[in-house]
Amino acid sequence: AQSVTQPDIHITVSEGASLELRCNYSYGATPYLFWYVQSPGQGLQLLLKYFSGDTLVQGIKGFEAEFKRSQSSFNLRKPSVHWSDAAEYFCAVGRIDSNYQLIWGAGTKLIIKP
């Protein structure tokens, strides 16, 4: 069955340090790939997406993600985090064998140390 794994439930990073959030998927073909952010008390906002082409994708708020087909991964990175980046981050996969479903990871909560 298709699945999305975010292996880290929580990650703590010092302000100004670099960040990498992991996402692995299990799927037969290269799906559409997304990262969303959910700030406390808010809905989900799209950070970036990958459909095809360049495997390094730039998003909003200084985030980027790299698609690695050989590892079935789509990890999210930021070179220097800010306290305002504290939030929950979700990876999602859009199935390409049907047009009606996104498959979601369980989320990673990012905590920023001052």
Per-residue CA distances from 24 to 59, 75, 90 (Å): 19, 8, 12
Question: Looking at beta carbons only, is 63 or 105 nearer to other proteins?
Answer: 105
Report the nearest approach of other proteins to the CB of residue 109 (Å).
10
Distance between CA atoms of 30 and 24, rounded to whole angstroms? 12
- 83 three-class SS: helix
Q: Which of 105, 82, 87, 99 is nearest to 34 (CA)?
A: 105
Pick from 13, 76, 105, 112 the residue near other proteins by CB under 8 A. Answer: 105
Site membership for other proteins, residue 28 (CB under 8 A): no
Of 20-28, 29-37, 54-62, 66-74, the window that binds other proteins (rule: CB under 8 A) is 29-37
Tokens of 63: 């985030």
Residues that contact other proteins, how many (by CB under 8 A) = 25
Binding residues vs other proteins (CB under 8 A): 9, 31-32, 34, 41-46, 49, 90, 92, 94-96, 98-102, 104-107
